[in-house]
Amino acid sequence: MKDWIELSIPALRGNESNYLTECVTTNFVSSVGPFIKRFEDSIAASIGLEANKTVATSSGTTALQLGLISIGVKPDDLVILPTYTFIATANAISYVGAKPWIMDVDKKYLTLSPESLQDELQQNTYKKNGSSYHIDTNQRIAGIIPVHVFGYSPDLDKIKTIGENFSIPILLDSACGIGSQYNDKLLGETDLPGIISFNGNKTITTGAGGIFYSNNQQEVDLVKHLSTTAKCSSKYDHDLIGFNYRMSNIQAAVGLAQIEQLNKVVSEKAKIHCLYKSKLDNSLGFSFLDPPPWSKSSNWINAIIINEEHKKKSASLFDKFKSEQIRSNYFWKPLHLQKPYINSLRSKLLWINNIQEKLIPLPSSSTLSVEDQNRVIDAISSVFC
């Protein structure tokens, strides 16, 4: 009987067991322990930052929530984000009491469209006291969240320029961005604050957890303070409404073992991407989703987009995958179609409405063998022969 080919699973083949044993034998298993600092500093080094520029959190979502607070987002503000993202991006905005302003994405790369962003801000905002406000709602626009999609970057230089012109700070949702580059810059070298997720399906994992990173020490210090219940003395004094969003030493131990393998994992994923591309790039009926020219991808997840006239074949492909014991499923539904955000402020969003019916994620685990990958390729080819 064939084994199931999974979509994206971790490669636990390094020091994970050794470090976990050390956690247990030293009794450091909770939110205090040496692995947390080691993990934070290792992440900082891997994304081009100095030590003490990162904060480990309980998830990517909590890192995003605290990151929004750190850049000054307040209740009832507007925060711009692309419609094509995991719903946690919008949820983090809601958690701080702000409202999402949903924007269109680039049709080829599915990242936040600088052109749409520029047009919407030009037509629908006004300046007052050094900030931009929405003409119709009079809400302050307090942030822009560009999202890394499938492991590659949005066009950050264009977005950053727009943000500066309209006095709107930027926070990167680079949940799946570790290992990627933007114009040869690592995440931390873009000089923008952001977050990374270490959920079990990401490039590297801590099981559950996240990181906030920034070159701005005040932002880093505020996120760390808020994530540890805003405790400011040994007498249990708390000066703000804080959160218990800390990562455990056990999670950090797994993460440290994982970051030691990051280059290997990214290299393996690059080979997987190249094989898919070489076998599927000229197929009829769909296109292979490639990273944009400004981004070196971490190749977190590979995907194909079925042509409009063949979109009904999605169901046939999923049936074929199931029969071949290949794990795949529909991916993100655009935010403007999600029930909690269906009435949110938005730009014109027409072409992307049926993207979920056309985009098929492909198994992309770093340990995917060539034999198993060819099973996936053969299954796709049999449907689009």
Which residues, in sequence order, are CB contacts of 347 under 8 Å at separation 6+? 102, 103, 104, 116, 119, 120
Residues in the chain: 385
Q: Identify the pLDDT of residue 303.
A: 96
What is the residue extent of each domain of the chain? 16-259, 262-383
Element (H, E) at 271: helix 262-280
pLDDT at 284 exceeding the cut of 90? no
**Local structure of 141: helix, strand or coil:** strand
- Judge contact between 54 and 220, C-beta under 8 A: yes
Q: Identify the pLDDT of residue 202.
A: 97
Distances (CA, A) of 337 to 48, 187, 227, 333: 37, 30, 32, 7
pLDDT at 302 exceeding the cut of 60? yes
Q: Identify the pLDDT of residue 385.
A: 74
Of 220, 230, 246, the residue nearest 56 (C-alpha): 246
Distances (CA, A) of 292 to 104, 225, 269, 284, 382: 17, 37, 17, 22, 29
pLDDT at 274 exceeding the cut of 60? yes
Q: What is the pTM of this model?
A: 0.96
Across the range 269-297, mean pLDDT stands at 93
pLDDT at 32 exceeding the cut of 70? yes
DSSP 339: G
Burial of 341 (0-12, 13-18, 19+ CB in 10 A): buried
Mean pLDDT (the chain) is: 96
pLDDT at 2 exceeding the cut of 80? no
pLDDT at 231 exceeding the cut of 90? yes
**Local structure of 150: helix, strand or coil:** coil
- Judge contact between 47 and 178, C-beta under 8 A: yes
CATH number of 262-383: 3.90.1150.10
Lowest-confidence pick of 109-118, 278-287, 371-380: 278-287
| pLDDT tens digit sequence for 78-98 | 999 999 999 999 999 999 999
Is there a shared CATH topology between the 16-259 domain and the 262-383 domain? no
Which residues, in sequence order, are CB contacts of 303 under 8 Å at separation 6+? 150, 289, 331, 359, 360, 361, 362
Distances (CA, A) of 89 to 84, 94, 367: 10, 9, 29
| pLDDT tens digit sequence for 47-59 | 999 999 999 999 9
What is the largest distance, in Å, between two alpha-carbon atoms of the chain? 70
Locate the DSSP E strands across 162-217: 172-173, 181-182, 194-197, 210-213
Q: Identify the pLDDT of residue 174.
A: 98
| CA atoms of 259 and 43, how far apart (whole Å) | 7
**Cα dihedral value 116, 97, 164, 60, nearest 10:** -80
| pLDDT tens digit sequence for 203-217 | 999 999 999 999 999
Q: Identify the pLDDT of residue 1.
A: 54
Q: Identify the pLDDT of residue 295.
A: 93
| CA atoms of 28 and 219, how far apart (whole Å) | 28
Confidence tier at 222 by pLDDT (50, 70, 90): very high
Q: Identify the pLDDT of residue 181.
A: 97
Q: At CA 177, angle to CA 276 and CA 122, rounded to 5?
A: 110
Options 3.40.640.10, 3.40.50.1980, 3.90.1170.50, 3.90.1150.10; CATH of 16-259: 3.40.640.10
Across the range 275-290, mean pLDDT stands at 90
| pLDDT tens digit sequence for 112-168 | 999 999 999 999 999 999 999 999 999 999 999 999 999 999 999 999 999 999 999
Confidence tier at 325 by pLDDT (50, 70, 90): very high
| pLDDT tens digit sequence for 345-373 | 999 887 899 999 999 999 999 999 999 99
- Judge contact between 193 and 70, C-beta under 8 A: yes
